[in-house]
Structure 1
Amino acid sequence: MAPPVRTRQSLSKDRFVSYFAPLRSQVYSDSTPRGGTGGHSIRTIAWNPLGSLVATGSSDRTLRVWNPEKPLVRFSTELKGHAAGIEKIAFNPVKDAELCSVSNDGVAKFWDVRTKACVNEVKGLGNAHTLAWAPDGTSLLVGNKSGGLFRISPTQPAILSSHPQPVETNQMAFCWSGEKVFLPTRDGRIRILSYPDLEPVFHVNHAVKPGESTEFALKGHTASCLTAELSPTGRFLATGGGDAIISLFDTQDWICQRTISRPLGPVRSISFTFDGRYIVGGCEDGSGLEVTHTESGEHVHTFKMAGPCEVIAWAPTRYCLAYSDLGVLRVIGVDADRK
C-alpha cells in the first residue's frame, strides 16, 4: 500500500519554478513491452481520488496501476481482459480502488484494483473512446466514435440509456454538482446538457431561422474540440481543440475569458492542479509541457520532454504531474515528498 498522501500548500507563481527546477521525473516502465516497440503507446492516464495510485491504459491492451512511490514494474498491478486497445480510464471519484476502462472492443470494464478482479462489464458500446464519471460515482457516460452516448452503471451489466448525438462527442466533463455535463464536439462547439436526461440546459434569447435549434453552446475553437476539463474550484471550464488552443470559459456568464495559444499542436488532454491555480495541456507536437497560471494567463514554466506529450494528469491532492513521454509513464513531483 502507498503511504498516506500529505496535501500541499498552494504555490505562488514566483515559487512554482523554484519548486520544480531541482526535481527530476521518475520513470515507470515495463521492461518487457509487447510487440518489441520499446513502449506501450500510453493513451490515457488517471489518478485515484487520494492521489496514491496512478493508472495507465495503452494501445496494446495493457492496463496497469502503479504505486507512484515504487516505480519498479513488480510493484504495479496489471489488469487483463480487454480485446483491443484501451482508449480511456478513470477512477470512481468516491471509491478509491474502483477503476473503469473503455476500449475499441466496445466494452466498459469495472475493476477492483486491490484484487485485480473485473467486478462488472457493459458490452455493446461500439468503438468507445471516451468516458466520464458522474461526481457521485453511481453512473458514467461513455461516448463512441460513431456519435453514440451511453449512460451506464458500475453495478449493472446492461446499458441504462442510449443517446445518439448529431456529431461525435470527445472527452467530456461533469460540473461538480453532477447536474450538467459538458460535451466537446467534432464541430468545435461545447454542448451543455442536463444530467441524466441529456437535454440542452441553455437556449439562445434571440430569433432563429425556422427549423434551427435554439440550443446555446460554447464556441471557442475553429477546429474540432477534443477535450474539456472543469477546474477544481468550478470557476473555469477549459477546452482544448484541434486548432492548438486552450480556451478558458468563466462558468458564471459562459464567456471565454482567455485563450492559451502556446501549444504547438492539437490539444488532446487538459489538467488543472488540485487548487485550480495552474493548467497544462497535452498536445500532439512539440517537446515540452507549458504550465499557465489560470487567473492571469501568464506562462509560468515549461517541462522539457523527449517528444510530443498528448496525455497528462495532475494528481488530485498535490503538485505531482503524470505524463506519457515516448510511450512511457513519467511522474514529476513525487520525490518532493522526500525532501
Structure 2
Amino acid sequence: MAPPPRARSLLPKDKFSPYFTPLKSQPYHDPGSGSRGGGSHHSLRSIAWNPLGSLVATGAADKTIRVWNPEKPNVRFSTELKGHSAPIEKIAFNPVKDAELCSLSNDGTVKIWDVRTKACVNEIRGLGDANALAWAPDGSSLLVGNRNGQLFETSPAQSAIVSTHKQPVETTQMAFCWSGKKIFLPTREGRIRILSYPDFEPVLRLPYAVPPGESSEFTLKAHTSACLVAELSPTGKYLATGGSDSIIALFDTKDWICQRTVTRMVGPIRSISFTFDGSYVVGGCEEGSGLEVTHTETGEHIHTFKTAGPCEAVAWAPTRYCLAYSDLGILRIVGVDGDRK
C-alpha cells in the first residue's frame, strides 16, 4: 500500500487556476477491459478515494472494480476485484478503515472487500434495483437505496439486512451529516428530505399548521426537476445538491437557505465533490465537456479542467488538491504530482 500523502497548505482562489493550468492529467489505462477507454463515458460509473488518499478505486459497467495507487499509473500496480454479476453502481471506502471497500451493483448486492487480500469479506443480498450508497461516518453501518424507494440499513459485518424503510417517493444518492445522526435524501421531486438516523423520522417540521392530510415535514426545495445527488462539505457548512436541471445548489446548514447556485454545467448532475478544505466544489455531468470548479464561499467560477467528453464521476482527494474523474471511460487524475506545493 502506498504511504499516505502529506496534506497540502490551503490554496487561495486567486492561486487556484495558476497552480492547475500547467498541470497535465494522468491517465490510468486498464487494457484488460475492452469496454473502457472505447469512447463510452458511461463505462466508469463511480470513483472513491480511501480515507488517507493513498488509494483510488473505480467501479465500472463491465462489473469490475479496480483499485489504483495514484502515484503508480501502470495497471500492474493496481488491484482488480471481480464478483458482481451486473454493472457497478457505486463504490465507497469505509471512512475509518483504509483498506475496506464497499461496492453496490445492479445485481442487488453489496460486497465488502479487503483490498489488501482481494477477498470479499461480506455480501448483502436482496437489495433490489439498488442505485445509492452511503457509509455512516463512523463506518459502523451502510445505507443503501433502490429505485423503488426502499432504504436499507445494513452492516459491513452482517450478511442480513438490518432494517428496511419504504419512502413515499423515490430517493437518489444520499449523504450523512458528519455526526451520523441525520441523512439527507434527494428525491425525484427535486427536494431534499432531512431524516434522523437510524430512526428515519423527519428532523424539521413546518412552523405553521397544515391542512388535514398534508405532511408537516420541512424539506429543502432544491431543483425544478429531479434531485440526483447530495454531498456535505468537509466543514459541514454547506450541503450541495445536484439535479437533472443541470444546477448545483449550495445550502447553508444553519438556516437551510440556498446561498448560491452553480449553473455552468450541461446535463444532469451525477456526482459532486468538495476539496478537503471545503473551499471548492465540482460536479460531474452526463453531457458536455470540461469540469467547472466553483469557489463555495463566493460562487465564483475559478477554473475549467478541459476534458475529452462528459465526466459523470468526480472525486477530490481527501487530503490534497488532487482531482480524480472519468473521461471517455478512463480514470484521470490531475494534481497527482507529489513534488508540487
TM-score range, shorter chain: over 0.9
Which of 238, 262, 265 does residue 263 from structure 1 map onto? Answer: 265
Shift of residue 3, structure 1, vs aligned partner: 2.7
Q: How does 1:1-20 map to 2 (within 5 A)?
A: 1-20=1-20
Structure 1: how far apart are the matches of 2:38 and 2:139? 36
Query: Secondary structure in 2 aligned to 1:18?
Result: helix
Query: Secondary structure in 1 aligned to 2:217?
Result: coil
Alignment: residue pair count? 339
Structure 1: how far apart are the matches of 2:179 and 2:35? 43
Equivalence for 1:244: 246
Q: Does 1:193 align with 2:223?
A: no
Structure 1: how far apart are the matches of 2:263 and 2:35? 37
Q: 1:23 to 1:43 in 2, by over 3 A?
A: same
Normalised TM-score (structure 2): 0.97
User: 2:155 is matched by which residue type in structure 1?
Assistant: S
Equivalence for 2:38: 38
User: 2:295 is matched by which residue type in structure 1?
Assistant: H
Contact 1:147-1:164 at 8 Å conserved across structures? yes
Structure with more relative contact order (C-alpha pairs < 8 Å, separation 6 or more): 2
1:110-153 C-alpha deviation (Å, 9 max, x unpaired): 00000000000100000111100000100010001111110000
Q: Does 1:142 align with 2:115?
A: no
Contact 2:130-2:147 at 8 Å conserved across structures? yes
Query: Secondary structure in 1 aligned to 2:5?
Result: coil
Shift of residue 207, structure 1, vs aligned partner: 1.8
Structure 1: how far apart are the matches of 2:340 and 2:178? 33
Structure 1: how far apart are the matches of 2:66 and 2:287? 26
Equivalence for 2:186: 184
1:253-300 C-alpha deviation (Å, 9 max, x unpaired): 001111111111111110000000000011111111000000000000
1:158-195 C-alpha deviation (Å, 9 max, x unpaired): 00000011111111110000000000011110000000
Q: Which moved more, 1:27-36 or 1:303-312?
A: 27-36
Q: Does 1:302 align with 2:310?
A: no
Shift of residue 32, structure 1, vs aligned partner: 2.6
* Unmatched 5+ stretches in structure 1: none
Structure 1: how far apart are the matches of 2:84 and 2:64? 8
Structure 2: how far apart are the matches of 1:127 and 1:74? 33
Equivalence for 1:332: 334
Normalised TM-score (structure 1): 0.98
1:295-330 C-alpha deviation (Å, 9 max, x unpaired): 000000000000111110000000000000000000
Structure 1: how far apart are the matches of 2:339 and 2:84? 35
Structure 2: how far apart are the matches of 1:62 and 1:35? 11
Contact 2:186-2:192 at 8 Å conserved across structures? yes
Query: Secondary structure in 2 aligned to 1:233?
Result: coil
Structure 1: how far apart are the matches of 2:171 and 2:127? 14
* Unmatched 5+ stretches in structure 2: none
Structure 2: how far apart are the matches of 1:130 and 1:29? 26
Structure 1: how far apart are the matches of 2:73 and 2:340? 15
Structure 2: how far apart are the matches of 1:296 and 1:231? 15
User: 1:22 is matched by which residue type in structure 2?
Assistant: P
Structure 1: how far apart are the matches of 2:36 and 2:100? 31
Percentage of pairs with the same residue = 74
Query: Secondary structure in 1 aligned to 2:96?
Result: coil
Structure 2: how far apart are the matches of 1:286 and 1:53? 28
Structure 2: how far apart are the matches of 1:284 and 1:13? 27
Shift of residue 33, structure 1, vs aligned partner: 1.6
Which of 100, 124, 127 does residue 126 from structure 2 map onto? Answer: 124
Equivalence for 1:292: 294
Query: Secondary structure in 2 aligned to 1:337?
Result: coil
User: 1:27 is matched by which residue type in structure 2?
Assistant: P
User: 2:7 is matched by which residue type in structure 1?
Assistant: T
Structure 2: how far apart are the matches of 1:78 and 1:31? 12
Contact 1:227-1:268 at 8 Å conserved across structures? yes
User: 1:85 is matched by which residue type in structure 2?
Assistant: P
Q: How does 1:202-217 map to 2 (within 5 A)?
A: 202-217=204-219
Contact 2:36-2:44 at 8 Å conserved across structures? no
1:232-253 C-alpha deviation (Å, 9 max, x unpaired): 0000000000001100000000
User: 1:16 is matched by which residue type in structure 2?
Assistant: F
Query: Secondary structure in 1 aligned to 2:339?
Result: helix
Equivalence for 2:322: 320
Structure 1 segments, 4+ long, off by >6 Å, are none
Equivalence for 2:100: 98
Structure 2: how far apart are the matches of 1:259 and 1:198? 28
